[in-house]
């Protein structure tokens, strides 16, 4: 089947984005499409597949996100900004409540981070600090800046559900080999956390600057993960590293966002929603094979604006 999509990115987290309203496909078919379109060795590539869906009142529209392995995530905040922008443009609105897999988020257009950079604000929460909600099966109530028995590391973690599960640890320096090893351990679905989890190593680079590196569930080591950045902002507040209510700059390999957490565990993230090109492609949902990519229009001005913004904001 042939599908139209927009290639987009939020803070370097890149996706094909499909207006799926009115497309009657099964979850298995969408999973196959995600594997085909998000395959880094295929014609498109991405960290996953975004779907703009119809909303259930009071949500103006919805979002679904499938990882590159075909699994469905509860949320994706970098992808949410891009999906929200498309929803705004198609519906002629500037803000909305968006329905997610197991929750909802408030989204709104925001003043540009830099000239030419489309910017969207997302607010999610309250996030849960229940260990059970994060998927830990060891019977503890919560984990705040503490080691987790059974995890193959003695590092102290903070476990939060955004609502997708995150294990966040603050480090002096990010060791990617250590992060990947721990991420792969979690990815195997061990008894301690059978539904897997996103794992983030976070450097605090000043009173209100964080650098986040994430092994994303269903994806692997990624340049950016929006919900991980939100989880890191919340973890910084929960552990007293950054006061609640304080604006935080969150950096990653893909760029940066601005974040803020409050004592009620709500997290606001503002960042880019950059559209790179409009295209269509032939994809077989059953086999996950994508081919015959046709690019209709490139949005090079947006790509250049983001690159310029990175040079100035960083």
Q: Long-range contact list for 1-5, CB < 8 A, 24+ apart?
A: 1/282, 1/283, 1/284, 1/285, 2/280, 2/281, 2/282, 2/283, 3/33, 3/280, 3/281, 3/283, 4/278, 4/279, 4/280, 5/37, 5/44, 5/278, 5/279, 5/280, 5/281
173, with CB counted inside 10 A (0-12, 13-18, 19+), is: exposed
Distance of CA 252 to the CA centre of its chain: 12
- CA–CA separation, 6 and 79 (whole Å): 12
Place of tokens 């295209």: 279
Contact 211, 236 (CB under 8 A): no
Known active-site residue 82:
no
Other Cβ atoms less than 10 A from the Cβ of 151: the count is: 21
Single out the catalytic residue among 8, 76, 82, 186.
76
Other Cβ atoms less than 10 A from the Cβ of 286: the count is: 10
| End-to-end Cα distance, the chain | 42
Known active-site residue 186:
no
Vertex 271 angle, CA 265 and 277, to 5°: 135
- CA–CA separation, 105 and 95 (whole Å): 11
Helix (H, G, I), strand (E, B) or coil at 161: strand
For strands 61-67 and 48-54, give the pairing: antiparallel
Active site residues: 76, 225
């Amino acid at each position: 089947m042939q599908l139209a999509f927009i290639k987009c990115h939020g803070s370097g987290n890149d996706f094909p984005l499909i207006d799926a309203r009115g497309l009657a496909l099964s979850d298995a078919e969408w999973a196959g499409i995600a594997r085909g379109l998000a395959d880094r060795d295929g014609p498109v590539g991405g960290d996953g597949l975004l779907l703009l869906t119809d909303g259930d009142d009071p949500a103006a529209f919805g979002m679904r996100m499938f990882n590159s392995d075909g699994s469905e995530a509860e949320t994706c905040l970098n992808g949410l900004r891009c999906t929200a922008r498309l929803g705004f443009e198609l519906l002629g609105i500037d803000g909305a409540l968006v329905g997610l897999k197991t929750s909802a988020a408030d989204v709104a257009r925001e003043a540009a981070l830099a000239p030419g950079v489309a910017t969207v604000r997302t607010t999610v929460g309250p996030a849960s600090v229940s260990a059970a909600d994060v998927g830990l099966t060891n019977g503890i109530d919560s984990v705040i800046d503490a080691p987790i028995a059974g995890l193959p590391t003695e590092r102290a973690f903070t476990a939060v559900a955004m609502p997708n599960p995150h294990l966040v640890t603050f480090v002096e320096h990010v060791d990617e080999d250590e992060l990947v090893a721990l991420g792969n351990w979690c990815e195997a679905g061990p008894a301690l956390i059978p539904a897997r989890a996103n794992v983030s190593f976070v450097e605090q680079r000043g009173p209100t600057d964080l650098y986040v590196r994430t092994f994303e569930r269903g994806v692997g080591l990624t340049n950016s993960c929006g919900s991980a950045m939100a989880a890191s902002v919340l973890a910084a507040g929960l552990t007293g590293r950054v006061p609640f209510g304080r604006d935080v700059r969150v950096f990653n390999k893909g760029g940066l966002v601005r974040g803020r957490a409050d004592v009620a565990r709500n997290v606001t993230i503002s960042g880019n929603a950059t559209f790179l090109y409009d295209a269509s492609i032939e994809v077989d949902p059953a086999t996950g094979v994508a081919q015959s990519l046709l690019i209709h229009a490139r949005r090079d001005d947006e790509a250049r604006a983001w690159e310029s913004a990175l040079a100035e904001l960083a």
